[in-house]
Structure 1
Amino acid sequence: MSEATHRAAVAERAARAGGVVAEEAFRGDLTIEAKESPTDVVSNADREAQQQVVATIAQEFPTATVVCEEDAPPVGAEGIEVAESVPGSGPAWVIDPIDGTANFVREIGFWATSVAAVVDGEPVAGASAMPATNDIYTAGPESVSRNDEPMAVSERDDLAEFAIGTTGRWSTSDPTTPTAIVREVSERFGDSRRFGCIQGLLALVAAGGMDGAIMPDPPNAWDSLAGVHLVRRAGGRATTLSGDRFTDGDENLIVSNDTRHDAVLDAARAALLDLE
């Protein structure tokens, strides 16, 4: 087994394991805390799922570097190094124990446990487990699949048939940006949807259910890297607003099935550049 294949297998195993822990807590009694806003929340399930993900990775990579959304330190994994950001060189693991926590705590079943294996700042494998829908999306060096079946982005090229996801932070104090994006998408494409789970949306683009997504805010690594790898391996495209290849730390993220990426970019630019 190659090193990349090994990392892909561990990413899938860790996402599944964390997803099991999260699913056990789903629609149960939760301890919920607000972070930066009343809708930006964390629960005890997030921290417990993250511990499981890290522990699973540590079984195969006991001195791994991990980048995690939650601040809970690893327990029982003394050799693990916790980094605040994705290192530019060497391997690392990027973990979102529950992406879509706002959905999770409202007992809405669209949320994901996502793990990306990164080498020199670039994802080489990604996995998003979505236990509430019984789905697992994975991408490694040799395959990209949903539930172990090959998947690919959609082949749609008629904009009237496109479904575009709008995602990222929604600020009630400054609703201008999301309002502009929804307006442009609604006017240019057949459908606009907002799911409340970035990794889940990226997985849907990779599997062909959605045709693109616009994320205007700088995405965190744990919100984006696993899903971006899924999209690219499935034949899609992920760029910045300028059309450059998206990498960790960029200001925004635009993804599509790559048949009409220019049209998705045009919509995003019309919404965002007009606000500057």
Structure 2
Amino acid sequence: MSDIDESPVLPPDVSDAEKRAAVTEAAARAGARVANDAFRTDMPVEEKGADDVVTEADRAAQRTVIERIRESFPEDTVVGEEEDAHKRVPDEGAAWVIDPIDGTHNFVREIRFWGTAVAAVIDGEPVAAATVAPALGDVYTADLDGAYRNGEPMRVNDVAEPRRGAVDPTLWWDHDERDEYANACEAIVDRFGDMRRLGAAQVVLPTVAAGGLEGTITNLRANPWDSVAGVFMIRQAGGTVTDLEGDRWRHDSVGLVASNGPLHDEVLAAAQAIEE
């Protein structure tokens, strides 16, 4: 696997899109390195709200990601989960969408399924993305030409039989919405051969892109830092991502339904069953 300390070296004549892709990966690697240094150490855990936690590692990793972005694109908007970053993706102009530690609950429980995610966006649409999962040894990236795991091209799988499929109920439902979580689980196990819950959307989405899962569903409105990078990877890997109505997903959609493509109708039906 690619070492997380490695950053791409750019020739002087790269395009803007290529530069953004390189900065996306470099910033994600830098943030992941900071987070990984704190992983499985004795650090205080703070509560941001019900069922939501944060650590100083989240904040330090986000500051590092932003610093790397600002070195090359000092005027761009930054959308992020922690501190004073913007919380909405602008429909016009350049922006960066970052999650310093996606899967913080896993992180604080010393479970390896977490990652640092960065996406470059132009006029509301991603043009590059990276998720670095250092505890797993994986670096997922996507640009305008394709999607990659550890530098090698990745593609969604071609499973078309629901009983061969495994689907993840992603994001998290509040305690007063646990009936919807139960519905999501039931909808999956009724339709597919297996269910996985990895607990980190920005690791789940690249896993779909790499063919390890056939789909992932939620009826919730995903925060952009939990979704934009991974959605772009799935699309660049040949998969399908829609909202709950089956329309093309975007950063402000309600629901997120991602699949390998051949199983999308079944995955969408499972997502729609959550609120029935």
What is the TM-score normalised by the length of structure 1? 0.93
- 4+ residue runs over 2 A deviation: 170-174
- Aligned-residue RMSD, C-alpha: 1.0
Tell me the secondary structure at the aligned position of residue 254 of structure 2.
Answer: coil
Tell me the secondary structure at the aligned position of residue 87 of structure 2.
Answer: coil
Amino acid aligned to 1:44? E
Amino acid aligned to 1:192? M
The residue that corresponds to 1:10 in the other structure is 23
Q: Does 1:94 align with 2:97?
A: yes
Q: Does 1:230 align with 2:243?
A: no
How far off is 1:196 after superposition?
0.8
Q: Does 1:204 align with 2:207?
A: yes
Tell me the secondary structure at the aligned position of residue 244 of structure 2.
Answer: coil
Q: Does 1:220 align with 2:223?
A: yes
Q: Does 1:126 align with 2:139?
A: no
The residue that corresponds to 1:61 in the other structure is 73
**5+ residue gaps in structure 1?**
74-81
Q: Identify which of 37, 40, 64 aligns with 1:52.
A: 64
**Equivalence map 1:10-159=2 (5 Å):** 10-37=23-50, 39-71=51-83, 73=84, 82-159=85-162
Amino acid aligned to 2:255? N
In 2, the alpha carbon distance for the partners of 1:194 and 1:258 equals 20
What is the TM-score normalised by the length of structure 2? 0.93
Tell me the secondary structure at the aligned position of residue 177 of structure 2.
Answer: coil
Q: Identify which of 162, 165, 168 aligns with 1:162.
A: 165
How far off is 1:269 after superposition?
1.4
Q: Deviations over 1:101-152 (max 9, x none)?
A: 0000010010010000000011111100000011000000123100001100
How far off is 1:169 after superposition?
1.5
The residue that corresponds to 2:184 in the other structure is 181
Amino acid aligned to 1:61? F
How far off is 1:197 after superposition?
0.2
Percentage identity across aligned positions? 48
Amino acid aligned to 2:217? I
How far off is 1:270 after superposition?
2.1
Contact 1:168 1:216 (C-alpha < 8 Å) held by counterparts: no
Aligned residues: 263
**5+ residue gaps in structure 2?**
1-13
Contact 2:219 2:255 (C-alpha < 8 Å) held by counterparts: yes
